[in-house]
Chain A
Amino acid sequence: MDTIKLTLPLKEEDILRLNAGDCVLLSGKTYTARDAAHKRIAEALAKGERLPFDLSGASIYYAGPAPASPGHVIGPCGPTTSGRMDAYTPQLLAQGLKCMIGKGERSQIVKEEIARHRAMYFVCVGGAAALLARHITNCRTVCYEDLGTEAVRELTLCDFPAFAALDLRGGDIYRR
């Protein structure tokens, strides 16, 4: 299978040329955020506060890693179900979010918003967490440390295997 190597942050031309189903290897920086962090981000935005990190052009991996054992950068770190973040995603896209990595389908509204903002949604293999952790070469906590596994982290990915789940031509990996 042809794989496309991509660097985060994604460029507009990358997003334009991707087709749903494309197999990609992602390198570069992404944040992690899942349920509790999204709730906090939404609350901060509702109050008009500045976010502790810049979403413009950014990527979010929906993941909550297990703790790193000695000698590892990070513990197992596979995707969590993206659909749980759907309620918050339009607000984050409005802040400039360009890329999301997770697993599972998105709501119709979120799919439309992703297309409207020319963003990209990738999925990776759920339950391949130990393997995926091998493709994470650096990890630092950015904010919301009290949330434990749900804190926002900045990861450096290196050839992280994923699939383009949507494309700007209406393609959807889950609707064949």
Chain B
Amino acid sequence: MRVIYAEQIKQTVKRLIYEANFFISSDISAAIDAGILAETSPAAVSALEQIRLNYKIAAEERIAVCQDTGMCIVFAEVGQDAHIEGGGFDAAINSAVSEAYGEFYLRKSVVSDPLYDRTNTRDNTPAVIHARIVGGESIRLLVICKGFGSENMSAVKMLKPAEGEAGVLDFIVDTAAKAGANACPPMILGVCVGGTFEQAALYAKLMTARGVDSANGDVRYAQLERTALERINSLGIGPAGLGGKTTCLKVNIHALPTHIAGLPAAVNVCCHASRHAEAVI
């Protein structure tokens, strides 16, 4: 058994929020660079150049990459031999969010009640926490700061098994087409096929952070990722929706066991400002 203090969890989450909001990962900036070379229309090139310069300004001047610094989502893999002392797990994460969003000048975008009051909680809490118990004595934390321009364009669909690969493909491409300029393309799609209704959505979110230089380990799904990407990039939406080839940087698909009667699919749309960072304590 290993003791991990709540304060360590808090400081780690704070650091990850900082990293995520000011530094876009190198796989994404490399994909933007590749887009600049591939585009021919001046508007598309200009949009991608603005995006590239924006990443640079954000990192150098410590200005958040996007004003929508999102809801803070924390995926935690907690080793069953880790013992947390000195405070609650959720409380540590929420206190990290509250301090980080204040200290780092991030936008507070959370309202306490969705329908009636819509009163801002003023410190961007609560965080959305998904914890899973795993083997070992460490805690792995993945922080995703998720903007809602793209979140709003996400979708879950319970397909029929008979709809098969073609049905899944159409659903992915249609979701991207509907997202259009609202999702701040070039976008990144996190997709989960299988599982249950809520599990598909959860894994789709995880897939937005798998990296745009990654591929599913199963060649069939890796091919499906490429086919979906090609179809989306031939829609013509382009960077910022101004027309062009660079509509989507990557489609990341995860497959899960599912029920004999079902074929759930979830597509979580993420913008190019995909802010995520992870660490192991």
Contact = CB atoms under 8 A, between A and B. Distances in A.
Interface size class on chain B is: 35 or more
A80 B240 contact: no
A40 B47 CA distance: 33
A130 B61 contact: yes
Interface size class on chain A is: 35 or more
A176 B243 contact: yes
B149 A64 contact: no
B43 A163 contact: yes
A109 B261 CA distance: 42
Interface string B66-77: 111100000000
A83 B182 CA distance: 8
Interface in A136-165: 147-149, 161, 163
Interface stretch (B50-58, B189-197, B210-218, B248-256): B50-58
A45 interface: no
Interface string A120-146: 000111111111011000000000000
Interface string B236-270: 10011111000000000000000000000000000
A128 B51 contact: yes
B120 interface: yes
Given A103-B241, A130-B54, A174-B180, A80 B47 contact: no
Contacts of B66: 76, 78, 126-127, 129
Contacts, number: 136
Contacts of A65: 67, 107
Nearest to B182: A104
B118 interface: yes
Contact of B181 (A64, A69, A126): A126
B261 to A, nearest CB: 36
Contacts of A161: 46, 50
B115 to A, nearest CB: 13
- If over half of A's interface residues share one DSSP class (helix, strand or loop), that class is named, otherwise mixed; here it is loop
A148 to B, nearest CB: 5
Contacts of A129: 54, 63-68
B54 A81 contact: no
A136 to B, nearest CB: 11
A83 B149 CA distance: 11
Contact of A127 (B43, B152, B272): B272
A23 B46 CA distance: 9
A103 B184 contact: yes
Contacts of B62: 69
Nearest to B118: A36
A32 B113 CA distance: 24
B67 A78 contact: yes
B280 to A, nearest CB: 29
A94 interface: no
B242 A75 contact: no
Given A36-B118, A64-B67, A130-B65, A81 B152 contact: yes
A131 B54 contact: yes
Contacts of B271: 126-127
Contacts of B108: 148-149
Contacts of B43: 1, 21, 23, 163
Contact of A173 (B118, B120, B152, B242): B242
A124 B236 CA distance: 18
B42 A127 contact: no
A66 B54 contact: no
The 6 tightest CB contacts between A and B, nearest first, are A126-B184, A1-B42, A66-B107, A130-B63, A127-B273, A104-B182
19 contacts: A66-B64, A66-B69, A68-B105, A75-B63, A76-B67, A78-B66, A78-B68, A80-B68, A81-B149, A105-B182, A123-B241, A125-B50, A125-B184, A125-B240, A127-B66, A129-B66, A131-B54, A147-B120, A163-B242
Given A69-B63, A80-B149, A129-B54, 10 more contacts: A23-B42, A75-B63, A103-B184, A105-B180, A123-B242, A125-B50, A129-B66, A133-B63, A134-B57, A176-B236
